[in-house]
Amino acid sequence: MKKSEIEAQKKKALPYYEKAGIILTDEEKQNMEIADFGLGKVDRVGLQLIVYVNTDRVCAKEMVLLPYQVCPEHRHVPTNGRQGKEETFRCRFGKVYLYTDGQGDKDKIGVPLPDTDVTVFHETLLTPGRQFTIMPGTLHWFAAGEEGAVISEFSTHSTDETDFFTDPAIVRIPELED
Amino acid sequence: MKKSEIEAQKKKALPYYEKAGIILTDEEKQNMEIADFGLGKVDRVGLQLIVYVNTDRVCAKEMVLLPYQVCPEHRHVPTNGRQGKEETFRCRFGKVYLYTDGQGDKDKIGVPLPDTDVTVFHETLLTPGRQFTIMPGTLHWFAAGEEGAVISEFSTHSTDETDFFTDPAIVRIPELED
């Protein structure tokens, strides 16, 4: 991504944190991470996130999804001799459509199918105050409804760089141009 | 504590979650935990908390302190063959005066001294959006300023029952009367 694209994406995300009543420091706003998953269509497949803490044992993040934006299907694999990442998503604003391993009908999912490979369709709808815990190794993807969404994530140490993505075209760690 | 006292305390705490913009389910409100630390003066030394998740590896809570209410000095010790609890406090509303191991002048602390034993006076003031990570074994106590406070806690598995308190009169797990 170009620096200008990253800055533009940060500006789009900030009003959602405000809608959720989340107070951020200027440094946190500045350090917001933009993930475009290497697909070059960040408004459709992408994620904006602020990492509060990521120590050896504990991680907490606050994520924004723009309207209908998708975080593509992946799972957290064992890393450095430890179990994969365990994470709890708690919706703070909007609607989150979360898809995890299990039975489901892809013709009845609540959001448009993403422009990337997905194989699991078991749907959980998260509205503000609702949450779901994703155990290590569980395939999952998620998307916002028409209002966008804000999600608090409580997890073990975050190791984004080892995530396994279903779509082989995906590159998790953003490449900075310019 | 009597059931009626617990219910009264829950009612006092709920407006603070609202002031912080935190959306809770009816079940979470109902299951709010009231800690009086066995001292029988919960408005002065006490804590109201809602546990979002507490798995084997990850815990997240949302805590309320009433105006000038104190959570007494304690540390998290190794439990079941594992390191003690590590926790990050993030202030969401009000002011939190956090005291941890280290140098400090007890005559210059920002809140009234609690009616319970404390030995550490290194002060960190947390305002909304500010946070602090407390590593295992670190003695700490904390109190709200005049407006009360709401604190998000991100941590490893919570084992309140093994916490070591400086004040020998303290009983962490509430005893229910009636």
Give CA–CA dist A46/B127, Å, rounded.
Answer: 31
Strand partners, A53: A60
Determine which of B130, B154, B156 to mutate to test the interface with A (most A C-beta atoms within 10 Å). B154
Q: How far is CA A72 from CA A23, A32, A35, A169, B65, in A?
A: 27, 19, 11, 11, 39
Give CA–CA dist B23/B53, Å, rounded.
Answer: 15
Question: For residue A164, which phi and psi values (nearest 5 degrees)?
Answer: -95, 120
% residues pLDDT > 90 (chain A): 87
Read off the pLDDT of each residue in A110-114 and give the average, rounded to a whole number: 94
Question: What confidence score (pLDDT) does residue B143 get?
Answer: 98
- Which chain A residue has the Cα nearest residue B57? A156
- Which chain B residue has the Cα nearest residue A127? B23
Determine which of B14, B18, B22, B23 to mutate to test the interface with A (most A C-beta atoms within 10 Å). B23
The pair of three-digit structure tokens given for residue B61, joined into one six-digit string: 């809570």
Choose the closest CB to B86 out of A28, A57, A83.
Answer: A57
Those residues of chain A whose CB sits closer than 8 Å to some CB in chain B are: 20-25, 28, 52-53, 55, 57-60, 83, 86-88, 90, 92, 128-131, 133, 152, 154-156
**Chain A residues inside the 8 Å CB shell of B23:** 92, 128-129
The pair of three-digit structure tokens given for residue B96, joined into one six-digit string: 């939190």
Quick count: other Cβ atoms within 10 Å of Cβ B64?
30
- Which chain A residue has the Cα nearest residue B53? A88
Q: What angle do CA B112, B114, B118 make, to 5 degrees?
A: 120
Give CA–CA dist B37/B172, Å, rounded.
Answer: 5
| pLDDT higher than 90, residue B41 | yes
Give A49-90 pLDDT, tens digit per residue.
999 999 999 999 999 999 999 999 999 999 988 999 999 999
* Band of residue A178 on the pLDDT scale cut at 50, 70, 90: low
Higher pLDDT, A102 or B72: B72
**pTM of this prediction exceeds 0.80:** yes
* Mean pLDDT of the residues in chain B: 95
For A109-144, give one letter per residue: b (16+ CB within 10 A) or e.
Answer: bebeebebebebbebbebebbbbbbbbbebbbbbbb
Those residues of chain B whose CB sits closer than 8 Å to some CB in chain A are: 20-25, 28, 52-53, 55, 57-60, 83, 86-88, 90, 92, 128-131, 133, 152, 154-156
Give the ipTM of the model, two decimals please: 0.94
| pLDDT higher than 90, residue A172 | no
* Alpha carbon of B60: minimum distance to chain A alpha carbons (Å): 7
CB contact under 8 A, B133 and A55: yes
Question: Do residues A144 and A67 touch, judged by C-beta distance below 8 A?
Answer: yes
**Chain B residues inside the 8 Å CB shell of A58:** 58, 86-88, 154-156
Give A8-46 pLDDT, tens digit per residue.
999 999 999 999 999 999 999 999 999 999 999 999 999
Indicate the range of A74-88, A146-160, A163-177, B74-88 predicted with least confidence. A163-177
* Alpha carbon of A129: minimum distance to chain B alpha carbons (Å): 5
Determine which of A57, A61, A85, A96 to mutate to test the interface with B (most B C-beta atoms within 10 Å). A57
Q: How is residue A139 annotated by DSSP?
A: -
Give B44-85 pLDDT, tens digit per residue.
999 999 999 999 999 999 999 999 999 999 999 999 889 999
Choose the closest CB to A154 out of B28, B53, B129.
Answer: B53
